[in-house]
């Protein structure tokens, strides 16, 4: 473990790393309550296609001390021509290994609570969260997952969006998984369909698959998050869930302006996803 006197709480540093023979990088944000001798959780947050680690930091607000003072946040950087991730049709980078290598790197440098590592991401980055949750090795290293507006591509055509099977070889059967999606998402439709010569499942089918995978009933409990927004919860502890805002688009839900909701035709949401994600993560640990 490295003790660096130059690092203070709230600092951000860019880190270079070699992964799968490629030069890669990630942005690491230190919690405002950082102390080098105190173990802390870590959250991976993956940017959307054509975006960057820095833009994801601005978007997700996971480094905002109003929401998070305890956890490191790791922002990996995509490298292909559209800055997107493994799982998107045509992408050949091994971003599952990249994630594993980053986790090895930060845990060798800093005191990371390896029972409390989490993953979230937007759009293509949300799709990578699903791949990590379905990976035999990474699903036992990451405690919980919370993708936003996720692109969950399945390499099959014709696209039967309400029945397509999501290939999954998860290493455990109790994976906490909370997805967010907007009813007016015109990029990754809530109702799925063919895109980029692959198949996107309907979001209800996708989340029911996760419930079944975790050996939960596919019958949900419904509660209200806010106006226009419902939480569909599966299992007695809400191990799997979907938060559905009927009126927002392809956005990171926020009650204040951000890069998503200020685009033409978009608007702020009636709830803020970030504190919900953090509360969800705080409920789970690999040690429990």
DSSP 242-270: EEEESS--SS---SS--TTTTSTT----S
Q: How many CB atoms lie within 10 A of CB 37?
A: 7
Tell me: pLDDT of 38 over 50: yes
Tell me: pLDDT of 236 over 90: no
Q: What is the pLDDT of residue 272?
A: 97
Nearest Cα neighbor of 218 from 231, 230, 232 is 232
Q: What pTM, to 2 d.p., does this model score?
A: 0.96
Q: What is the pLDDT of residue 1?
A: 47
The string of pLDDT tens digits covering residues 263-281 is 999 999 999 999 999 999 9
Exposure string for 226-252, b = 16+ CB within 10 A, e = fewer: eebbbbbbbbeebbbbbbbbeebbbbb
Q: Give me the chain's average pLDDT, please.
A: 95
Q: What is the arithmetic mean of pLDDT over 117-131? A: 98
Tell me: pLDDT of 2 over 80: no
Q: What is the pLDDT of residue 227?
A: 86
CB 225 within 8 A of CB 243: yes
Going by pLDDT thresholds of 50, 70 and 90, the confidence category of residue 10 is confident
pLDDT over 90 percentage in the chain: 91
Question: Where do the domains of the chain lie, and which CATH numbers do they carry?
Answer: 12-282 (3.40.50.1820)
**Strand partners of residue 17:** 24
Tell me: pLDDT of 64 over 60: yes
CB 142 within 8 A of CB 100: no
Exposure string for 45-61, b = 16+ CB within 10 A, e = fewer: bbbbbebebebbbebbb
CB 125 within 8 A of CB 56: yes
């Amino acid at each position: 473990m490295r003790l660096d006197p130059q690092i203070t709480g709230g600092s951000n540093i860019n880190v270079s790393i070699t992964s799968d023979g490629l030069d890669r990088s990630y942005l690491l944000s230190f919690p405002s309550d950082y102390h080098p001798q105190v173990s802390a959780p870590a959250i991976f947050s993956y940017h959307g296609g054509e975006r960057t680690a820095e833009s994801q930091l601005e978007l997700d607000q996971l480094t905002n001390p109003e929401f998070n003072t305890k956890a490191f946040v790791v922002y990996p950087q995509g490298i292909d021509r559209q800055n997107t991730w493994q799982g998107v049709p045509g992408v050949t980078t091994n971003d599952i290994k990249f994630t594993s290598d980053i986790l090895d790197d930060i845990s060798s440098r800093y005191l990371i609570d390896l029972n409390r590592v989490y993953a979230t991401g937007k759009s293509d980055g949300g799709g990578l969260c699903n791949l990590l949750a379905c990976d035999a090795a990474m699903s036992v290293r990451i405690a919980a997952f919370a993708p936003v507006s996720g692109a969950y591509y399945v390499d099959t055509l014709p696209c039967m969006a309400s029945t397509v099977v999501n290939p999954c070889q998860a290493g455990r059967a109790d994976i906490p998984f909370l997805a967010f999606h907007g009813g007016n998402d015109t990029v990754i439709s809530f109702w799925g369909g063919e895109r980029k010569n692959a198949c996107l499942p309907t979001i209800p089918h996708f989340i029911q698959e996760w419930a079944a995978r975790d050996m939960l009933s596919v019958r949900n409990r419904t509660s209200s998050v806010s106006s226009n927004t419902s939480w569909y919860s599966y299992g007695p502890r809400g191990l799997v869930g979907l938060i559905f805002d009927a009126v927002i688009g392809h956005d990171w839900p926020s009650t204040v302006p951000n890069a998503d909701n200020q685009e033409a035709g978009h608007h702020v949401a009636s709830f803020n996803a970030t504190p919900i994600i953090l509360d969800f993560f705080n409920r789970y640990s690999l040690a429990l």
